[in-house]
A = this chain, B = another copy of it.
Amino acid sequence: MNQSIQCPGFEAAGIAAGIKKNQALDLGLIYSRQPAVAAGVFTRNIVQAAPVRLTRARVGGGRVRAIVANSGNANCCTGAQGEDDAAHMAQIVAAGLDLPPGDVLVASTGVIGAFMPMDKIDAAGPELTGALGSQGFGEFARAIMTTDTVPKLIQRRGEIDGHQFTLVAAAKGAGMIRPDMATMLCFVCTDAQISHEPLQQCLKQAVDRSLNCISIDGDTSTNDMVLVLANGHSGACIENDGQRKIFQDLLDDLLVDVARRLVQDGEGVTKVVEIRVEGARSDEDAFRVADTVAHSPLVKTAFFGEDANWGRIIAAVGRAGVPLAPEKIDLHFDDVLMFKDGMGCGPEAEVRATAVLKKPAFSVGIALHQGAGTARMLTCDFSVDYVKINADYRT
């Protein structure tokens, strides 16, 4: 973890409150020294955890000051008690920082259906606010991990009209990652100055280009959210189209990097695979094909086995529900053409494709020759460890 990652005007902390076992970090806090504009994108799952409902209501255009986030407990399916607990988490932080409780956002991740251990969070309040510091993002990123094996903390810097500005993202992912709101927690801090509506639009676009184009296991969670806080500390002001493009490009780049790291660290992942579909009748058709291939257990287990099993990919393409002509499809592993004119390209191509499959990252190119629609999706293999991790998760 790069301890030098920080964002001017922001402080962060991560501590062990005893929510998880073994004294692992499990409670994090982000604090802006001045009021920050907030934007958010939330899970589309109809079953939503208490902190999702609370935070969604508070990200409405007003300014906020802090985000408190915990791992080890999702505070989901916890009824009225869960609503009270989420609100109380905000109050604990607000009291420690002398803020109105409505200025504090809340996020939780972990097991569904258990009540938050509020006694532990109450007791940890002073330590949490006391640990705040501009160097605290590393601990924060660790405090939100569940089955992640490495923390995700990324920085980007840009310049607008002579003003340097910074973007910092702390994220957690692992299982339950798929389109329709790539399921995870991601918190972005920036010292750029921007108002709520354009910030919300930029976030939506960046998420569509990044976190909504990845898949680990096809499940979506009840707790996921991406939040951005912009505190304007840098003086870099985003108002006109040119300024907005600079900010958008940097935010896109940041979240694409987050997305790739989430897939790389997906549960049991040994291969990161980009599915590139082109020549579909529309982008929507291309997305359906990419999505079907990216989620096929047979394709994903073949990736794990380093098997250039193009037959399973073609079979997945064929059941995507999109009109196509099988004999027109070209299939590449990286630059190796493996399927053309309705048939495999023979043993020599297979030898070369097998070499591609041994790499930790590669692409599968699917050209349909039906039109101009394209889509890209990042996926991973399905490993023995994925099953072991998820069979044992609660025990």
Contacts and interface: CB of A to CB of B under 8 A. Distances in A.
A316 interface: yes
Contacts of A302: 390-391, 393
A34 interface: no
Contact of A77 (B74, B296, B342, B395): B342
Given A298-B175, A318-B46, A319-B44, A311 B391 contact: no
A347 B310 CA distance: 47
Interface in A351-395: 382-384, 386-388, 390-395
A315 B220 contact: yes
Contacts of A315: 45, 47, 112, 176, 219-222
B309 A393 contact: yes
A317 B47 contact: yes
Contacts of A317: 46-47
Contacts of A324: 46
A295 B391 CA distance: 15
B46 A387 contact: no
Contact of A343 (B77, B175, B176, B305): B77
A113 interface: yes
Nearest to A339: B77
- In this complex, the member of A78, A315, A344, A384 whose beta carbon has the largest number of chain B beta carbons within 10 angstroms is A315
Contacts of A217: 297-298
Interface string A286-309: 000000000111100110110101
A114 to B, nearest CB: 8
Copy number in this complex?
2
Contact of A391 (B44, B74, B305, B326): B305
Contacts of A344: 77, 113
Contacts of A394: 305, 307, 309
A54 interface: no
A255 interface: no
A395 B324 CA distance: 30
B219 A312 contact: yes
A314 interface: yes
Interface of A: 44-48, 74, 76-79, 111-113, 175-176, 180, 217-222, 295-298, 301-302, 304-305, 307, 309-312, 314-319, 323-324, 326, 339, 341-344, 382-384, 386-388, 390-395
27 contacts: A44-B319, A45-B318, A46-B318, A46-B319, A46-B323, A46-B324, A47-B315, A77-B342, A78-B343, A79-B341, A79-B343, A112-B312, A112-B314, A113-B343, A217-B297, A217-B298, A218-B297, A219-B316, A222-B315, A297-B297, A301-B386, A302-B393, A305-B392, A305-B395, A307-B391, A307-B393, A386-B387
